[in-house]
Amino acid sequence: MVFKPHLYTIDDAGVRRALTPRSILAPQIEIIPRSQCSFRHQSLKKQSQSALKAVRFKALKEASSPAAIIRLVRDKSRKGVGIWSYDPSGQAGRRVMPETLAYIPYKNG
C-alpha cells in the first residue's frame, strides 16, 4: 500500500496550511516556499560519488548559514546536479522539502 504524504506549509504569520489532504499513516512533510530557498545548477566533471561529495562540500561552504540544509538532485542526463539550500525550520526532526521538488515536473519545457 502506498501512502501519499501530507504536505503543508507555514505562512509568515506562523499558521500551518495544508496543501494535500491529511491521512492517518501518511508522513508529514513541510514545504519550504521558493522565497526561502536558493537554487543553482552545476555540471559534474565526473559521474562518481566523490564528485557529488565535492559539490555538497562546496554548497555547504557557500550556504547562508552553517545550519543550512543542502539537497542535491541529479538531472536526467546525470551530467549535472540541482542544488537546493534552505535554513531549517523552527522545530528539529521535521521532514522538509523545497517547493519546486513537491511538484511533478513537466515533460517538455
| Residue pLDDT, tens place only, 33-59 | 888 888 999 998 888 888 889 999 999
Q: How many CB atoms lie within 10 A of CB 65?
A: 10
**Does residue 4 register a pLDDT over 80?**
no
Mean pLDDT of 90-109: 69
- Three-state SS for 40? strand
State the Cα–Cα distance between residues 87 and 102, nearest whole angstrom. 17
pLDDT at 90 (0 to 100): 61
**59 vs 104 pLDDT, higher one:** 59
The answer to whether 6 and 22 have CB atoms below 8 angstroms apart is yes
Please give the CATH number for the structural domain made up of 6-102: 3.30.420.380
How open is the CA angle 58-97-22, to the nearest 5 degrees? 170
| DSSP state, residue 19 | S
81: amino acid identity, one letter: V
pLDDT digits (tens, 9 = 90+) for 10-29: 777 778 888 888 777 778 88
